[in-house]
Amino acid sequence: MNFGKNILCIGAGYVGGPTMAVIAMKCPEYKITVVDTNEDRIKAWNSNHLPIFEPRLEEIVGQTRGVNLFFSTDIKNSIKEAEIIFVSVNTPTKTFGYGAGMASDLQYWEKTAYQIIENSEDPKIIVEKSTLPVKKAQAMERILKESKNHLHFEVISNPEFLAEGSAIRDLIEPDRVLIGSHQTESGLKAAIEIVDIYAHWVPREKIITTNLWSSELSKLVANAFLAQRISSINSVSALCEKTEADVSEIAYAVGTDSRIGSKFLNASLGFGGSCFKKDILNLVYIARNYGLTEVADYWEMVIKINEYQQERFVRNIIKAMFNTVVDKKIAIFGFAFKANTGDTRESPGKYVAKKLLEERAILSITDSQALDNARLDLAGMDGNVIYETDPFKAAIDASAIVVVTEWEIFKYLDYERIFEKMKKPAFIFDGRNILNHQQLFKIGFNVYPIGKPSLTHF
């Protein structure tokens, strides 16, 4: 079949896979190839067991794979054939050298620049999909300028705003698509080509075009604002627990102000995921590098409050359970960093599990999508861990249930039946405030929500 455009995506992860599947579905005349150095991941994308879980992803990959969507490890030839290359490789926080624990580790991203110049025979548009510190397109351009055939590569920034768990919905109905380019003739022309892809299904008024650096920085700022709302309400939850105010009532009262809005105001045991912490650290690092100490300190507090909230949650569990959890069985409900994903990167559940294991508790962890990742995350320290797909079984003989992920299923379990099988006194620590606390209290549980008075029988 003759395709209209040949698009390549380097990096078949949580962003590359779903994004390209949706582009393939919405642009049937384009050929979309997704490549990765990780052979197992590509094998999984070509199998019936996709490497990541997202609602509707299987259905869309099923419709497009082998038609106009292809997953491959042949990076060289795929680069050669492509006209437009999206780069969607991982950009984790650096763990070594200068900027360790703060700056982005750009080695994977930079390697793609070398792969592109080594294997290109024609000029191409390179689209930064990975989240990058501001001004990083410049580094990519400098490497690409070294192309042996003196080819011109126009670099475009197109940060991804999808949220895991609702990736497909976010891609199909985005709040906006952001495309940043140099404000030169070739930059603007390349930006139009990328606009044309999204315009297949996204209304034009939702496609924002900016200069390159605004686009890069917008992504960091968007995540920093979202995380800041969570840390703000979580800081209030600590105050509520001391004053008998109810954080949900406050969130409602505050969120009905149309200037503030109601989203991202649910108090919890803290945010996780691969992006929020990393992107804020990046913002902090950049601000410090420019000598903007106050700006850096301001954003750093968002992370500090998040760490404080997770630690506070674990301390509350231990304190409530008479200051010891040694040899006590605790059922951990969830492990993914949020509902509807199996991703456990920076998951608060992982933090809670590790801390409770250090306190020598026995854990039974239940999560419908994240148990494989949980096994990897706790490898070497899981002698006292049972992995259990059935929440009911996970709670048998447990002294406490700790909700760490807001899976819908946890709301609708038969807690009377669960209570009967648990050790008494039985505790529930609701780290997501998703359960019916009064009802649980009536059943006999001692209930500890976040930012609300606890309900106990003592």
Closer to ligand NAD by Cβ: residue 14 or 153:
14
Least Å distance between CB 376 and ligand NAD? 14
What's the min distance (Å) between Cβ of 159 and ligand NAD? Answer: 7
Q: Which is nearer to ligand NAD, 50 or 357 (CB)?
A: 50
Give the containing element (helix H, strand E) for 179: strand 177-181
DSSP symbols for 152-173: -EEEEE------TTSHHHHHHS
Distance (Å) of CA 437 to CA 3, 29, 450, 453: 56, 53, 11, 10
The gap between the terminal CA atoms of the chain, to the nearest Å, is 72
Please check whether residue 360 is in contact with residue 323, taking contact to mean a CB–CB distance below 8 angstroms: no
Known active-site residue 275: yes
- In the complex, minimum distance from the CB of residue 99 to ligand NAD, in angstroms, rounded to a whole number: 16
Q: Which amino acid is at 359?
A: E
Q: Please answer whether residues 68 and 24 qualify as being in contact, where contact means their C-beta atoms are separated by less than 8 angstroms.
A: yes
State the nearest-atom distance from the C-beta of 273 to ligand NAD, in Å: 7
Give the footprint of ligand NAD on this chain (CB under 6 A): 10-16, 35-38, 41, 75, 88-91, 108, 111-112, 115, 130-131, 160, 162, 164, 274-275
Residue 338 or 452: which CB sits closer to ligand NAD? 338
Query: Which 3 state secondary structure label does DSSP give 257?
Result: coil
Q: How many CA atoms lie within 13 A of 38 on its CB side?
A: 12
Strands (E), 352-435: 362-366, 385-387, 400-403, 427-430
Residue with smaller CB distance to ligand NAD, 37 or 316: 37
Does an H or E element contain 421, and which? helix 415-421
Specify the residue, 70 or 313, whose C-beta has the smaller distance to ligand NAD.
70
- In the three-class reduction of DSSP (H, G, I as helix; E, B as strand; rest coil), residue 296 is classed as helix
H-helix or E-strand containing 6?
A: strand 5-10
Query: Cβ 164 to ligand NAD, closest distance in Å?
Result: 4
Instruction: Give the residue numbers marked as catalytic.
Output: 275
